[in-house]
Amino acid sequence: MSPQDEPTSVGTRPDARPESVAAADASGLTPERFGTPGPREPAVEPDRPTGTGIGGRLPTQLSPVLLLVCAAASVGILFAFSAFSFTGAAFLTALTYTVAIFVVGAVVEGRRRAVDRVVTSLVTIAFVLAMAPLLSLLWTAVSQGAARLDPAFFTETMAGVVGEGGGAAHAIVGTLQVTGLAALVSIPVGIMAAIWLVEYGRGPLKTAITFLVDVMTGIPSIVAGLFAFALFATVLGDPGHRSGWAGAIALAVLMTPVVIRSVEEMLKLVPDELREASFALGVPRWRTIAKVVLPTSIGGIVAGITIAIARVIGETAPLLITLGFTVGFNFSMTEGRVSTLPVYAYDQFIRRGLPPEAFVERAWTAALVLILIVMLLNGIGRLIAFMFAPTTNR
């Protein structure tokens, strides 16, 4: 339908759509009811030429039905050419559905709604495209990792294991140790840096630090690993140095900017009115920060820190350099190699012994456990954020 078909005064109506006029009149939603000023349209005659079958709506159930039809047709076509594949069918279904919904929509509902349906369909396809790898990854990790998700995996180490059996208890403990130590370093530093940036910082120094934090957020993790390794090797004069501390420092370098950024955002969300209320009661700035600003934003801060931990807990490259791996427990943080889950998974996968399946299975289970730990952390973070969220109705 071309624009010339439309009445000239269409733009002044809230429902500027000629095809809806009949429906609007029927439901009593006339322009007068809206109280819209402006020139009135001529009354709509029932036999007014309405272009391409306009005024109707597609039934709600039509979209899923059409989708099924398109899917069936796609599968049929692919089988007919004996070229069936799941990806191909999904792609063809999306394509035919988009075209079909546009054609059907254009015929029944008019061009505007048809475009709306096409864009809806495109957005949905984009969403599915984004979700597909994620779900596929989760599914793979679960299906491959489930085989060794047994108590032994959590209680045994790889000491003396050359084939089947064994576990990752040492790697789980190592991951918790190293990440915990990194968190212990970077959370106080990050929170205090964020407080400085929001509450005290000003001028070029603040701009410079904000810029550096931004740059640090994008640091490749291998660089952080090399930095920590070089630091410890230089200070201790031992080019072969491996220790939990070195790994924790590497992770802290990666984690701190993330903590600063998220805490900074949360502190900025605290309304200035609360700070003023506190100042006006004769409360010094540092007490205001400690007792008003931080408690008000504690939920967001905890959530941000959880995300930062989740960000570094799966790091492999820097830990490969600074920690290496080992077959048993190493509770010393200052000396010797420490196993961690990501490096454990890498090691199991890359240095397969006999039978190779046992090694691959352990690698997948390590990956699955890592995912579970991150999910657990996120859950705890959300729970804490929920518990501390200030009840405000403003």
Binding site for other proteins (CB under 8 A): 202, 271-284, 287-288, 291-292, 295-296, 390-394
Expressed in percent and rounded to 5, the helix, strand and coil fractions of the chain are: 70, 0, 30
- Report the C-alpha gap between 207 and 21 in whole angstroms: 57
Q: How far is the CB of 285 from other proteins (least distance, A)?
A: 9
52, 2 Cβ separation under 8 angstroms: no
31, 41 Cβ separation under 8 angstroms: yes
Q: How far is the CB of 183 from other proteins (least distance, A)?
A: 24
- Report the C-alpha gap between 288 and 278 in whole angstroms: 6
DSSP secondary structure string for all residues of 73-95: HHHHHHHHTT---HHHHHHHHHH
Which CB, 227 or 279, lies closer to other proteins?
Answer: 279
Q: How far is the CB of 275 from other proteins (least distance, A)?
A: 7
Which CB, 182 or 293, lies closer to other proteins?
Answer: 293
Which CB, 292 or 341, lies closer to other proteins?
Answer: 292
In terms of Cβ atoms closer than 10 Å to its own Cβ (0-12, 13-18, 19+), residue 232 is buried
Q: How far is the CB of 265 from other proteins (least distance, A)?
A: 18
Q: How far is the CB of 274 from other proteins (least distance, A)?
A: 6
Q: At 163, is the secondary structure helix, strand, or coil?
A: coil
Between the two ends of the chain, the Cα-to-Cα distance in Å is 47
Which CB, 8 or 391, lies closer to other proteins?
Answer: 391
Which CB, 160 or 295, lies closer to other proteins?
Answer: 295
Which CB, 260 or 292, lies closer to other proteins?
Answer: 292
Q: How far is the CB of 308 from other proteins (least distance, A)?
A: 23
CA angle 95–99–100, rounded 5-degree value: 110
